Amino acid sequence: MTGTSLTPGQRSALIRRLAHEHAFDRAGIASLGPIPRAEYALDWLRDGLAGTMGYLYRCRETRLNPGRLLSGAKTAIVVAVNYGQPCGTGFQPVRRTQHSAPRTQHSPRGRVAMYAWGEDYHVVMRERLERLLSAIRQEIDQPFDAKICVDTSAIIERELAAAAGIGWIGKNTLVLHQDLGSYFFLGEILTTLDLEPDRPVADHCGRCTRCLDACPTQAFPAPYQMDARRCISYLTIEHRGDIPDELKPRMGDWVFGCDVCQQVCPYNREPPITAESRFAAREPGLFPILNDILGWDDDDYAQQVTGSATDRASLSMWKRNAAIALANAAANEDEPT
């Protein structure tokens, strides 16, 4: 066991080494305090850009200052795990900027965002973070409190990731890394340990606006800003009501999430393939048959989404999304060639 005489910098170096040994693709340390873009986050909520995601209006204090989630917390250990999949799965993220699900005669298919292809990342990431935290406790022989966060906690993960040097917040509001691209999950351990923080990395988006230009629904009113009410991921996963008629034709064949702004990003030109086997594609698969979804009953739905992040959308939402994708497929068939 390591003695308590370690400096904050030595503890941070030890934690980064342990994270690497536990197969995290990136790890960094961030000081806890008010997030840099707190004013923007408040304005974003006040302007209603969160749409019907009422939970974002709750616990605003911790979203703006994540240290409040754990009494005495000083720092956050932030990790990233790549979920990139090989092109052999049928997904071609780097060669085409506009693409659709494969056509099957009389059986149009929809698309699912890559992050939801495999097992539920909340479960996988939490289990991996628990193992990392156990290893840290074995190596650092001093008492400390810690809290694991994976997406569902009332914090803004990308702000902590940027502060910890995991990457920078891109124009599409996702965290980007020059080598990893943006196909990665984030996780955090808030802790009372005194650690030396990492430095944020520079923004490398430059003049590129490919993500903004490619968005089918024009969900980005300006670089680094998103109107969630127009985002296909929000519409298919978070929004419980009817979808505005204006946006339906622009949703294409997406039935759960959307990857367009990531597919066109130059940093995702050659995305690394994940080493985590649990993120490999499973049902409902990359390209589910739309008519099958419309025929799901409660048992079918449970069988398809249990153990997957796709259970975030209810059965009625899956059917709503499939109906829109089916109408779009029919409209495309009717278009003159």
Catalytic hit among 43, 120, 145, 151? 151
The upper half-sphere exposure of residue 337, i.e. CA atoms within 13 Å in the direction of its Cβ, equals 2
Q: Is 151 a catalytic residue?
A: yes
DSSP string, 43-103: HHHHTTTTTT-GGGGTTHHHHH-GGGGSTT--EEEEEEEE----GGGS--TTT-SS--PPP
Chain length of the chain: 337
Q: Which two tokens stand for residue 312?
A: 């975030």
Rounded CA-CA distance 224/324 in Å is: 29
Number of other CB atoms surrounding residue 47 within 10 Å: 9
* Contact call for residues 194 and 74 (beta carbons, < 8 A): yes
Phi then psi for residue 65, to 5 deg, are: -145, 85
Gyration radius of the chain over CA positions: 21
Q: Quote the tokens at residue 192.
A: 């009372």
The catalytic residue positions are 151
